[in-house]
Copies of this chain bind each other. A is one copy, B any other.
Amino acid sequence: MVILPTGLEERGDVRRETDPRSAGTLFQLIRDGRPRTRADLAAVTGFARPTVAARIDELLGSGLIVPAGEASSTGGRPPATFAFNPGARIILAADLGVSHGRLAITDLASTVLSERSLEIAIADGPEVVLDAVTTALCDMVEELGRPVSDVAGVGIGLPGPVEHRLGRAISPPIMPGWDGFDVPGHVARTLPTPVLVDNDVNIMALGEHAARWQDVKDLVFIKIATGIGAGIISDGELRRGALGAAGDLGHIAVPRGRQIPCRCGNVGCLEALASGLAVVESLRAQGVDIQRTAQIVDLVRSGNITASQTVRQAGRDIGDVVAGCVNLLNPSVIVIGGIVSEVGEHLLAGIREVVYSRSLPLATQHLRIVASQTEGRAGVLGASQMVSQQVLSAPAIDQLLVKS
């Protein structure tokens, strides 16, 4: 029955969260990008003017805010305004797949400053892979001409279930050696900053949401690549479930698949019918010469009818599961991403066909089913976003200023 305001659960935290003198609280107000005067901030927070002035000086000292010119005045000397300075620090982001990694450096507002691709083999295990990633990231920081001390944090997406709180992969099916490995601990040996880890699809949902759908509160991001998975945003926040395993669309049974075996050991899973791997296998069985998932996109684009039809059927199978998601979660936007989604309308058409025939009218009346609009960057944008959410939170800012 007891509902306390966020962060008030524990006596030790209460003081920091509600401390009216907190620089972190002022920073959250300045962070929206609108320049504010000291008087604005005092009025909005109810803090005393001298308190505001002292905290503004601390924040200016940290570089996190900068003078943003003068406000208009009705007479006398116009007051100075202050604004968030996203360039003060940098965030390192890595979106790791089975055989490929995408790396980026962003500023604190998740604007990409530098990007790089990296061939990896996730099966080489965490030490080999993470060392390659940190080496490449450090290279990029140097290329950018920034000192390593400018790094505010590192965000990493992994292609398997992750216990986000601890930053460890848990029972990942395709990542030998990673189960329970302390990713933040290992990375922080080279980059001694906060290191945050999540499942790749979760960070893609976060990235797409922050970059293109900030006004939408309920969004599901579905990644269709070698496998199939989803990241769920409800009421504006990523929902990970009890063990971080939420969004596992790929192993929901679909009607067409009753007897088809899946690599998970079950039969009839969506992945066994409609993942990139399943489409490649189906095309091969139909006599098409194809090796890798990425080639599906080339075949469809070049007008191969067998490929288009197979992709459309995969879309319908995905639609069967997405229809259930729509009834269950009532999102306003479903974003389809991942390499296979680059085939474009054939896949979306198959998905829409089933969702609009299977979901309830109320749940679909304003529903949009769209392709990802972040050009493959959803993962790195989300990894950056995950870090900025943490390192720019009010308690983190307070801690930063206490230390400095």
Q: Classify chain A: how many residues form its interface, as a range.
A: 35 or more
Distance in angstroms from A169 CB to nearest chain B CB is 11
Q: Is the CB of A234 within 8 A of B243?
A: no
Distance in angstroms from A329 CB to nearest chain B CB is 5
Binary contact track A31-48/B, C-beta < 8 Å → 1, others 0? 111000000000111100
Q: Is the CB of A14 within 8 A of B245?
A: no
Residues of B within 8 A of A31 (CB): 2-4
Task: Write the chain B residue with the least CB distance to A266.
Answer: B358
Q: Is the CB of B6 within 8 A of A6?
A: yes
Residues of B within 8 A of A243 (CB): 330, 332, 362-363, 365-366
Q: Is the CB of B232 within 8 A of A328?
A: yes
Distance in angstroms from A252 CB to nearest chain B CB is 5
Specify which of B33, B237, B264, B358 is in contact with A253 (CB 8 Å cutoff): B358
Q: Is the CB of B251 within 8 A of A360?
A: yes
Distance in angstroms from A38 CB to nearest chain B CB is 16
State the copy count for this chain.
2
Q: Is the CB of A46 within 8 A of B248?
A: no
Q: Is the CB of B44 within 8 A of A15?
A: yes
Interface membership of A240, Cβ < 8 A: yes
Interface membership of A110, Cβ < 8 A: yes
The A206-244 residues at the B interface (CB cut-off 8 A) are 210, 214, 216-218, 230, 232, 234-235, 237, 239-244
- CA of A266 to CA of B356 in the docked complex: distance in angstroms? 11
Q: Is the CB of A218 within 8 A of B242?
A: yes
Q: Is the CB of B3 within 8 A of A389?
A: yes
Interface membership of A196, Cβ < 8 A: no
Task: Write the chain B residue with the least CB distance to A363.
Answer: B245
Q: Is the CB of B253 within 8 A of A362?
A: no
The A248-268 residues at the B interface (CB cut-off 8 A) are 248-249, 251-253, 255, 258, 264, 266
- CA of A285 to CA of B330 in the docked complex: distance in angstroms? 35
- CA of A249 to CA of B28 in the docked complex: distance in angstroms? 39
Specify which of B110, B251, B362, B389 is in contact with A245 (CB 8 Å cutoff): B362
Interface membership of A11, Cβ < 8 A: yes
Q: Is the CB of A362 within 8 A of B161?
A: yes
Q: Is the CB of B46 within 8 A of A18?
A: yes
The A334-379 residues at the B interface (CB cut-off 8 A) are 357-363, 365-366
Q: A5 with B246: in contact, given A20-B18, A20-B46, A253-B320 (CB under 8 Å)?
A: no
| Chain A binding surface SS class | loop
Interface membership of A62, Cβ < 8 A: no
Interface membership of A8, Cβ < 8 A: yes
Distance in angstroms from A273 CB to nearest chain B CB is 13
Residues of B within 8 A of A242 (CB): 216-218, 330-332, 366
Interface membership of A171, Cβ < 8 A: yes
Q: Is the CB of B15 within 8 A of A28?
A: no
Specify which of B14, B327, B332, B388 is in contact with A29 (CB 8 Å cutoff): B14
Interface membership of A66, Cβ < 8 A: no
Task: Write the chain B residue with the least CB distance to A15.
Answer: B46
The A1-28 residues at the B interface (CB cut-off 8 A) are 1-6, 8, 11, 14-15, 18-21, 25, 28
Q: Is the CB of B252 within 8 A of A255?
A: no
Q: Lowest 8 CB-CB distances: which A-B pairs, in order? A: A241-B330, A242-B332, A246-B330, A245-B330, A20-B20, A248-B327, A2-B32, A218-B242
**Interface CB pairs A-B, < 8 A, 19:** A1-B109, A1-B214, A5-B6, A8-B29, A18-B20, A234-B239, A235-B237, A235-B239, A243-B330, A243-B365, A246-B329, A246-B330, A247-B328, A248-B328, A251-B360, A253-B255, A253-B358, A325-B328, A328-B329
